[in-house]
Structure 1
Amino acid sequence: MQAVVAQRYGGPDVLAIVDRPEPEVGPSDVLIAVKAASLNPLDFKIRDGKVKLVLRLDPPIALGCDVAGVVARAGASVTRFRAGDAVFARLEKDRMGGLAERVAAHEGVVAAKPATASFEEAAAIPLAGLTALQALREAAELTSGQRVLIHAGAGGVGSLAIQIAKILGLHVTTTTSAKNADFVRQLGADAVVDYTRHEPLPRDLDAVFDTLGGASELASLAAVKRGGVVVGIGGLPDAAFAARHLPGFARPVIWLATARRRRAAARAGARFVYLFMRPDGAQLAELAGWIDAGRLRPVLHRSYPLAEVRAAFAELERGRARGKIVVTI
């Protein structure tokens, strides 16, 4: 079968479409004939070798973690799906390779595709939607009526996070450029900060969902009230994550590299939590229900055929996409 791989660690030129063996299907797995797969920053970070400490993968590396398609075969122990079912999934972290004609996934990370969504729209949801939901409801533990700032509201994660935050009953401020201000308001944002004009962030927030990392995390910590929380996905992990997931030699490096962030959190009387989302079929089914109810809208920036996967990556890495970039198989 055809699949996209990174032949070695490096830039876009290491991507190739190759013939790969059919995936192994265990008793609790479903084999999915992929119709569409979306791209995420994680994909080019894997390709570049920037997450080698967390995801230890040897080239050639099969890329892509979000898929939508049709069940071609179900393992003997599978109870929730059968051949012919339309599904979507965020693949398990040690079984990625969604940019392929077929993938295998444990039924626990798979959900029925939203009936009202196309395969391209469904493929745009898993990683970004699960990240937003887990950040807001689990890591930040936000409840209805609280105030949250969501950075990069027009992006793949941000455009879903705004909508999910409104479903959870939150007051939402988001950062974006002037050209996207009306777009994020249509998604539900209550207030907009134009980062191109260096407008100040609001203060005394209950939480910030920081998708950017770096200096943005320090500004986010200054924006939350005492007892508030910043949930980050774009920068360096925190000590708790490092202790659970990184090799021993990397932990002191992370401790030193995050010293400014820890000091900023201490001054603010706030917490910083690093999130590396987990695949979850039950939560995907919850997101699918919101889509079918008209409460959550997938946002597609552009679709590319598999043959143009390098162009799709280039567009993703420009960092100006409004919503998600999808590759059709």
Structure 2
Amino acid sequence: MKAFIVKKYGKKEPLYLTEVSNPTLKSDEVLVQIHAAGVNLLDSMIRMGEFKLFLPYKTPFVNGHDLAGIVTKIGSQVQNFKVGNAVYSRVADYRIGTFAEYISVNENDLALQPKNLTMEEAASIPLVGLTAWQSLVEIANLQKGQKVFIQAGSGGVGTFAIQLAKHLGAFVATTTSTTNIDLVKNLGADLVIDYKKEDFETKLKNFDLVLHSNRDPKILESSMRILKPGGKLISLVGPPTPEFAEEIGTGWFFKLITKFLSAGVKKKEKKLNVSFQFLFMRAEGKQLSEITSLIEAGIIKPVIDKVFPFEQTNDAMAYVESGRAKGKVVIKVK
């Protein structure tokens, strides 16, 4: 089958289109013919080797985390899916490879696709949807009337998180550029801050939650200051913490590194009486099924900027890396 592989780590390394062996199938897995694949910044970061310390993929490997497709074969112990099902998934770490024609996926990481979405729309959902769900529902337990600041509201995670937070009854503030203000307002944002013209710290205070996705250390510190005492900041970009290292079961060396990397934020956390948590989202089919229900009910809608043909996967990656995408970028595989 055709697939885009990472031959070696590097910021300027492209993905290479090549022929690879068809996936093997374990008893608890399904074989999916991929029709569309979502493109995420995570795919670029994996290719660059930014997570090698705790996600050491051995090159060459097929890249890609999001898929939508059709089940073509099932393992002997699979109970919840059958051949012909339209499914979608953010596949598990160490089992990535959605920039390809086929992939085998553990059935626990899959969900039936929303019936009201196209393949391309469905492929845009899993990673950003699960990131928002695990942040707002699982970790924060966001309640009606609480205030949440979602950074980068016009991005992939932002466009989904705004809709989910509004469904949960929260007051939503977000940042975006001038050209995207109407987009995030239409998604439900209550307060929109043009980050090119305004400083969010002067406009926001006593927030319950911040969904943090900006790598600038100054933005992280400002974000912690807008929280009320006892408030929570959930970061998608780090720094990773010793608690995260413990959670994923890494060795002492990575734990030591995370202790060093997070020392500054831990100090600010204590001083401001707020909490900081690093989230590296995980595959989770049951949560994706919950998201399916919200999409089929019309509560959450996908936001797609561009769909690229499979052969232009590197162009799709470059577009995501540019930071200009409004919502998600998708590859049409079949």
Name the counterpart of 1:244.
Answer: 247
Deviations 1:199-232 (A, max 9, x none): 2330100010002234222111101000000000
Name the counterpart of 2:213.
Answer: 211
For 1:134, what is the secondary structure of its paired residue? Answer: helix
For 2:9, what is the secondary structure of its paired residue? Answer: coil
C-alpha separation in 2, matches of 1:190 and 1:209? 15
Shift of 1:310: 1.1
Name the counterpart of 1:143.
Answer: 143
Structure 2 counterparts to residues 140-179 of structure 1, below 5 A: 140-179=140-179
Shift of 1:48: 0.4
Name the counterpart of 2:326.
Answer: 322
Partner of residue 257 from structure 2, selected from 253, 258, 276 = 253
Structure 2 unpaired stretches of 5+: none
| Percent identity between the two aligned chains | 37
TM-score normalised by the chain length of structure 2? 0.96
Deviations 1:68-121 (A, max 9, x none): 000001111111111111110111111100010000101111111111100000
Structure 2 counterparts to residues 219-298 of structure 1, below 5 A: 219-245=222-248, 246-298=250-302
C-alpha separation in 1, matches of 2:129 and 2:14? 29
Name the counterpart of 2:65.
Answer: 65
Structure 1 unpaired stretches of 5+: none
Q: 1:265·1:272 contact (CA, 8 Å) conserved in 2? A: yes
Name the counterpart of 1:52.
Answer: 52
Deviations 1:251-288 (A, max 9, x none): 33322222221122112100001111111111111111
Q: 2:242·2:256 contact (CA, 8 Å) conserved in 1? A: no
For 1:103, what is the secondary structure of its paired residue? Answer: strand
Counterpart residue type for residue 50 of structure 1: E
C-alpha separation in 2, matches of 1:86 and 1:242? 35
Deviations 1:172-208 (A, max 9, x none): 0011111111110000101111111132330100010
Counterpart residue type for residue 281 of structure 2: M
Shift of 1:296: 0.4
Q: 2:241·2:262 contact (CA, 8 Å) conserved in 1? A: yes
C-alpha separation in 1, matches of 2:65 and 2:262? 28
Name the counterpart of 1:81.
Answer: 81
Name the counterpart of 1:184.
Answer: 184
C-alpha separation in 1, matches of 2:8 and 2:30? 29
C-alpha separation in 1, matches of 2:245 and 2:93? 17
Q: 1:53·1:247 contact (CA, 8 Å) conserved in 2? A: no
The two structures, once aligned, show a CA RMSD in angstroms of 1.2
C-alpha separation in 2, matches of 1:156 and 1:203? 25
Q: 2:142·2:165 contact (CA, 8 Å) conserved in 1? A: no
C-alpha separation in 1, matches of 2:127 and 2:191? 25
Counterpart residue type for residue 251 of structure 1: K
Matched, 1:26 2:26: yes
Shift of 1:239: 1.9
C-alpha separation in 1, matches of 2:265 and 2:150? 18
Aligned residue-pair number: 329
Shift of 1:12: 4.6
Shift of 1:15: 1.0
Q: 1:31·1:74 contact (CA, 8 Å) conserved in 2? A: yes
For 1:241, what is the secondary structure of its paired residue? Answer: helix
C-alpha separation in 1, matches of 2:246 and 2:240? 10
Structure 2 counterparts to residues 293-304 of structure 1, below 5 A: 293-304=297-308
